[in-house]
Amino acid sequence: MSIPNELINRHPWLPSLKTFYSNFWEKSYEEFIAEIFSKDISNEIAERVLIIFESAFNNLEDIPNKKFDYLNIYVYILLKILLYALNNKTITNRIANLYSKNAYNDLERENSESNLYDICQDLGLRINYYNPPIDYGIKIVKDYREKLKTNFTIHFIDYLRLASNLRDEYRKLTNNPLEDGYVFIQNKTLIRLIQEYVRNKLLIEETEDKASLNAFLQEASRIQRFKDMFDKIESLWDKRKEEFKFSFKIDINSKEEIQTLYPPCVVEILKKAEEGQNLVHHERLFIVWFLLALEYPVENVVDIFSTLPDFDRGKTTYQVEYAKKKNYTPYQCSTLKSLGLCMANKYKDKLCLEGYGSIEPTERKKLKHPLAYVRIKQYRNEKEKFKKNKAKQVLEGSKRQDE
């Protein structure tokens, strides 16, 4: 299917970019940079790229003064090269969050069903388009009545592929109408799924191949204008990075680092926060309730969110304090599983997977709550310490006897 050129300029993350601008893909990163910075347009491109980084570091939710000409494509590719060159997970996450959020805003502002349809087709999503929109229900509250209509249905496999990581309650398949393999989806929700696609496209893993990276940086640094831009981004980051860091060492009564006692579901969320990845609503609630249940000070809980793209200390403090007052119980394991937040398999955690209480597999009890994980780990650690002390005492006793 052919997609209008103009649409690729607006949304350079579309797969058709490769077909339209196949000459880009034949070039190495170095060649691409050399080509850009030999042209008159280089200043304009560098400026636009810097605006994106500045916006991301300043917690903005949209990219100001964005233009949709063909330079947008260069900006997108250069952005990806810079993320590779910077090799910093936190920066990558912030850029991916901002750029994808911006894609969402662009698509929403466009408000064009035909564009949305073309984009879905280009992304290989199986969708049905209805014009006029079809009814799939009604909302009635008191005197308010609203017919639920949509232009789109999307195949459930494509829906799951894009939505299953989002973990918001309203995106769960169960809470959406599904018929004959297709989910009835509002335009806005469809755009939100596309946002997730864009975010994933920018999430480049940190490279372990430092030699190739250094060789690239060395080569690219020869191009003065690229070097200037790269240095400027690094200096911008240096000024802001302290704000995005949080310390997570805290002792609890026994002076034992609680971190070693955390279940994998908690470790995963903390890891994501540390890397500046966005946390979905349920992840935020769970981590707050969990840490408050362990009597963490409010200030330390708030600090965890300081790395997130939409952090606002005042608001977060108010919310954490409110949660503390309400004394909410953190989600139990079954809820975490359903929300896709259980990480037992990912971390191959023995306690979560095999249970506790007996050596005999058939007699083991299943872990039902992440707080129980902490208690059991604490108990086991204590037991281990006790055993070690006892063994030490026996050893010392026998030594004394020998003497």
Partner 1 sequence: MNDLTYLKRLFQAYYQEEHKNFPVISSFNLREFGVIPWEKKVFMKRHMRFENPKLLRGYLIQDPPRHLYSSGSLYLEPDAREMESKNYQGCDLIVDIDVDHFYTPCKEKHDLWYCKECGAEGTGMPEKCPECKKSKFTKLNWVCNDCLDVAKNEIKKLVNNFLIPDFGISEEDMRIAFSGHRGYHLKVESEELRKLNTDERREIVDYLTGNNISFELLGLTERSKEIFGLIKENRGWSQKIMNKIEKILEKPKEQIETLLLDKHLFGFNSNVVNSFLNYKDDFLELITKGKRNIWAIEGFGLTMWKRFLKGIVKQVGVELDEPVSIDIHRLIRYPGSLHGKTGFKTQEISLSELEDFKPLDEKNEKLDPIVFKSKKNLTHKLEVVAEALPITKIKGVEYGLIKKERKSKSLIT
111 or 345: whose CB is closer to partner 1?
Answer: 345
- Decide: 91 and 28 in contact? Cβ < 8 Å: no
**The tokens of 92 are what?**
């990558």
Alpha helices in 113-223 (DSSP H): 113-122, 156-163, 187-202, 210-221
Query: Interface with partner 1 by CB under 8 A: which range of 45-53, 154-162, 202-210, 213-221?
Result: 154-162
Give residue 30's identity as a one-letter amino acid code: E
Contact region for partner 1 (CB under 8 A) — 70-78, 80-88, 163-171, 257-265? 163-171
For partner 1, the closer CB: 176 or 278: 176
Q: How far is the CB of 213 from partner 1 (least distance, A)?
A: 26
The b/e string for 87-125 (b: 16+ C-beta within 10 A; e otherwise) is bbbbbbbbbbbbbbbbbbbbbeebeebebbbbbbebbeb
- Residue 138, interface with partner 1 (CB under 8 A)? yes
* Nearer Cβ to partner 1 (72/338): 338
Considering only 53, 84, 182, 289, the residue that binds partner 1 (CB under 8 A) is 182
Of residues 359 through 388, those in contact with partner 1 by CB under 8 A are 363, 365
190 is a site residue for partner 1 (CB under 8 A): no
Q: Does 156 bind partner 1 (CB under 8 A)?
A: yes
Hey, what are 365's tokens?
A: 């009890």
Q: Which is nearer to partner 1, 120 or 223 (CB)?
A: 120
Q: Write the binding mask 315 to 344 for partner 1: x where contact by CB under 8 A, - elsewhere.
A: -------------------xx-xxxx----
As measured in angstroms, the least distance from the Cβ of 368 to partner 1 is: 12
Stretch that binds partner 1, among 1-9, 76-84, 132-140, 213-221 (CB under 8 A): 132-140
Both tokens of 100, joined, read 């994808």
Give the integer Cα–Cα distance in Å for 327 and 145: 37
Quick one: 65 or 175, whose CB is closer to partner 1?
175
Strand partners, 252: 256
User: Is 97:309 a contact under the CB 8 Å cutoff?
Assistant: yes
Least distance in angstroms from the C-beta of 359 to partner 1: 13
Of the candidate residues 200, 345, 389, 398, the single one contacting partner 1 (CB under 8 A): 345
> Rounded distance, CA 146 to CA 169, Å?
22
Q: 68 φ, ψ to 5°? A: -120, 30
What is the smallest separation between the CB atom of 163 and partner 1, expressed in angstroms? 8
Q: Report if residue 58 touches partner 1, rule: CB under 8 A.
A: no
187-190, long-range: CB < 8 A, 24+ apart:
187/113, 187/116, 187/150, 187/151, 187/152, 188/108, 190/116, 190/120, 190/127, 190/152, 190/154
Task: Give the residue among 46, 30, 35 at the shortest CA–CA distance from 219.
Answer: 30
Distances (CA, A) of 144 to 185, 304, 324, 392: 22, 41, 36, 74
- Residue 172 engages partner 1 in binding (rule: CB under 8 A): yes
The whole-angstrom separation of Cα 109 and Cα 172 is: 26
Question: According to the binding rule CB under 8 A, does residue 161 interact with partner 1?
Answer: yes
Give me the least distance between CB of 211 and partner 1, in Å please.
26
3-state secondary structure of 273: helix
Report yes or no: 189 and 195 within 8 Å, Cβ to Cβ.
Answer: no
Segment interacting with partner 1, rule: CB under 8 A, options 78-86, 137-145, 230-238, 395-403 = 137-145
Binding site for partner 1 (CB under 8 A): 136-142, 148, 156-157, 160-161, 163-165, 169-170, 172-182, 184, 334-335, 337-340, 345, 363, 365
